[in-house]
Structure 1
Amino acid sequence: MTLMHCERGANEEAIQVLCRGVTNGFLSPVCEAILGGRVEVVGEAEVLLPWPCCGHRTLTELYDSVVRTGYDICNHCRWEDDGIVSDSVHGSVNKAAMSQYRERIREESNYFYREKWS
């Protein structure tokens, strides 16, 4: 992702981290609102993996139990990828089982509805 008409440096880096995998169509009006002018967002969005919990593509790497890496936290549902894929198992890092997270998303659909990630 490349931001045109935006100062390089810490601001651009912060935006890139917050908007990892976000579509250009979502990002363009956000940048325009913040910067107060027309912004052209170009480039391909980073291809991310779907979360086992909510299905949104916000996962940068899969959990690896051998190397013990991949503890990403979803920006959408807040589920931490701890390698547990069972709906009913409550792991040590998440506050509930995956089925409970999914139920919360269904119950609070207006809060969780976003067209940010593809």
Structure 2
Amino acid sequence: MGIEGEPLIYEPCPCCGYRTVEESAGYDVCPNCYWEDDGNDDPTKYSSVNHLTLQQGRDNFKQMGASDPAYIDIVNKHPNKYLKA
């Protein structure tokens, strides 16, 4: 039995940088940091779907492993299963 087709190459999450997003700006939620990719790549612009700026999400991820403290218990605890962009 073989595998057919092309492998799916994920896009990097704008918040954590791991390849977890199927389509950039497709409103996918990253299982690694729980950032919803709304297409905003300006770190200073407020994201209405995430309720904070991308820079705040990045800082939160570096400090606690989630884009927002509210998601600390539901994010993936094994980020090494994803490729870093």
Task: Tell whether the structures are fold-level matches, with TM greater than 0.5.
Answer: yes
Decide which of 3, 6, 12 is 1:50's aligned counterpart: 12
TM-score in terms of structure 1 length: 0.51
% same residue: 36
How many corresponding residue pairs?
70
Aligned to 2:68: none
Q: Match of 1:107, as an amino acid?
A: Q
Q: Match of 1:86, as an amino acid?
A: D
- Larger radius of gyration between Structure 1 and Structure 2: 1
Over 3 Å counting, the alpha-carbon distance change for 1:100 and 1:71 in structure 2 is: same
CA distance in 1, matches of 2:47, 2:79: 27
CA distance in 2, matches of 1:51, 1:107: 17
Over 3 Å counting, the alpha-carbon distance change for 1:80 and 1:58 in structure 2 is: same
Bigger RCO of structures 1 and 2 (CA < 8 A, at least 6 apart):
2
The structure whose residues are more often helix, as a share, is: 1
Decide which of 77, 81, 86 is 2:33's aligned counterpart: 77
**Within-5 A mapping of 1:1-118:** 46-63=8-25, 70-109=26-65, 114-118=79-83
3-state SS in 2 of match to 1:115: helix
CA distance in 2, matches of 1:71, 1:94: 11
